[in-house]
Amino acid sequence: MSARHFLSLMDCTPDELVALIRRGMELKDLRNRGVLFEPLKNRVLGMIFEKASTRTRLSFEAGMIQLGGQAIFLSPRDTQLGRGEPIGDAAIVMSRMLDAVMIRTFAHSTLTEFAANSRVPVINGLSDDLHPCQLLADMQTFQELRGSIKGKTVAWIGDGNNMCNSYIEAAMQFDFQLRVACPEGYEPNAKFLALAGDRVQVMRSPQAAVAGAHLVSTDVWTSMGQEAEAAERLKLFQPYQVNAALLDLAAQDVVFLHCLPAHRGEEISEELLDDPRSAAWDQAENRLHAQKALLEFLVEPAYHHA
Ligand code: CP
Ligand code: NVA
């Protein structure tokens, strides 16, 4: 199938990613100035959510409406996907009716299998492996506040999860150094680490990872689907809380990001989202703008009149 997909940051070139971030900033400005921009009139995005979501659902749905199109929310509970219709069959049928499909799922192979059978672009709205749309928003937020991230040092603290894997891909694509501090046994996926080579260093000490860093980020200790491990993780990850004292070790102009939802008192201290170094609310808003840029890039413009 010839459609262009966005399952990972590696599906775009570094130049395309930089252009997407810039475009996200332009689309944000258009919206702030109240300018109507509807290149996706009559276009329809299907959104399959196998896991919960607030930001991803809202930003894609609002984004499609703002671009002149529509979005349809689909869950396995109410579709034949929940009753065992093969993913490939669902992809063939859905992609004959829709102009793009966003999927939030467990196994990353669900996305690759859907994409292999889809005529239209497929977007990864989070899998157990990756969360590339969140990285578009994170990179836009840093760019807005501090300019290019090229050559900077980024610290990822906590679980080597889907967000961490996407930070590894971002380190390669946006050209920055990444330090990951995690407990033993919770390292990011070896496949991503091997690709990144010496661009990424894994260590145990959050203090060493944060020292002099320009961007610090973390995420929940228990991701969706890992609920049975929550108690054990809560104990193990205690030394990995990001708080004001830890950020004091970073560069003076450090930016703190959290993809949200956050668990105050666990991976971040109670007050951290209110710390002047945190840009988590801008980051959340930027999901909207960055994904509008992605939709504009992937989805064909409006039909001709008959
Ligand atoms: N950050 C993020 O993807 O949030 P949601 O789970 O609310 O979509
Ligand atoms: N790592 C988290 C991210 C949520 C946006 C999860 O997968 O649940």
Whichever domain contains 210, its CATH number is 3.40.50.1370
Domain for residue 186, yes or no?
A: yes
What pLDDT does residue 1 have? 58
Residues 138 and 279 in one domain: yes
Residues 58 and 37 in one domain: yes
Q: List, for the chain, all residue ranges whose pLDDT scores fall below the cut of 50.
A: none
Instruction: Compute the distance from residue 122 Cα to the ligand 2 centre, in Å.
Output: 19
What pLDDT does residue 66 have? 98
What pLDDT does residue 305 have? 72
Q: Are 192 and 165 in contact (CB under 8 A)?
A: yes
What pLDDT does residue 302 have? 65
Is 131 designated active site?
Answer: yes
Q: Are 76 and 82 in contact (CB under 8 A)?
A: yes
Cis peptide before 261 (omega within 30 of 0): yes
C-alpha span between 304 and 306 (Å, rounded): 6
- Length of the chain measured in residues: 306
Residue nearest to atom 3 of ligand 2 (CA): 223
Is 55 designated active site?
Answer: no
Is 277 designated active site?
Answer: no
State how far the alpha carbon of 3 is from the alpha carbons of 104, 147, 217, in Å: 19, 32, 33
Residues 275 and 141 in one domain: yes
Which domain covers residue 124, as residue numbers?
Answer: 9-131+285-298
Residues 54 and 165 in one domain: no
Q: Are 68 and 45 in contact (CB under 8 A)?
A: no
Q: Which residues contact 129 (CB under 8 A, 6 or more apart)?
A: 108, 162, 165, 189
State pLDDT tens for residues 134-168. 999 999 999 999 999 999 999 999 999 999 999 99
C-alpha span between 94 and 85 (Å, rounded): 12
Determine if ligand 2 sits within 6 Å of the CB of residue 163.
yes
